[in-house]
Amino acid sequence: MNDYIETEVKIPNINPDELIKALEKLGALKVFDDDRNYITLDFEDKRLTKKGEEIRLTEEGKLKLSFDRRLDTGRKETIKVFVSRKEEMLAFLNRIGINPIAEVKSHRISFEWKGVDFDLDVFPKIPPFLEIDVGGTDVSLNEVIEKLGLQGKEIVTLSTKEIYKANGLDYFELFKTNS
């Protein structure tokens, strides 16, 4: 299990082609480039969502179940486990009252450089954004921003759902499941 406090930020409104060129010039290694399915789960009364917590099942090569909680500092605590059987995991969660409430397909391109993770996410109906997680590396966020030529760009700690809201869209209405 990987339980840690993320030091992840997002940079919205990214030009994917320019970013990929900058990452390649930096020497970052592409480690993932594929579509992914992103299922948000909650209780019927959406009590997790109301508290700023989230359980999601993400298919991106591997099947990953994660729990996120926003901390008072604005950072996010994340617990991730990899599972092997989607239907069994969904049946298990259903037995304890947790069910899919939203499902969306997106495209992700991931790079790594000196322990820094870069995820370029392309979701429907909003501009692409970059997630940067410097984690426990010796590389500062400012150094990364400068090396990629992203100075002056907006840097946020918003969730994907909050980015939809900032764009005037309701994520849960757009992608609600029929279950």
Q: What are phi and psi of 174, to 5 degrees?
A: -65, -40
Q: Does any domain span residue 179?
A: no
Q: Which helix (H) or strand (E) holds 10?
A: strand 8-12
User: The sheet that has 62-70: what strands, in order across it?
Assistant: 2-6, 76-83, 62-70, 53-60, 29-42, 99-113, 116-122, 129-133, 8-12
- One digit per residue, the tens of pLDDT, for the chain of length 179 reads 344 555 688 999 999 999 999 999 999 999 999 999 999 999 999 999 888 899 999 998 789 999 988 777 767 788 889 999 999 999 999 999 999 999 999 999 999 999 999 999 999 999 999 999 988 788 999 999 999 999 999 999 888 999 999 999 999 999 999 76
Domain that includes residue 161, residue range: 2-174
Q: Does any domain span residue 147?
A: yes
CATH of the domain at 113: 2.40.320.10
d(C-alpha 156, C-alpha 163), whole Å: 9
Q: With beta carbons less than 8 A apart as the criterion, state whether 151 and 51 touch.
A: no
Number of domains in the chain: 1
pLDDT at 2: 44
Q: What are phi and psi of 144, to 5 degrees?
A: -65, -45
Instruction: Please report the beta strands in 13-61, taking only residues with DSSP state E, as ranges in sequence order.
Output: 29-42, 53-60
Q: Does any domain span residue 42?
A: yes
Q: Which helix (H) or strand (E) holds 90?
A: helix 86-95
Q: What are phi and psi of 71, to 5 degrees?
A: -90, 165
pLDDT at 117: 94
d(C-alpha 54, C-alpha 174), whole Å: 17
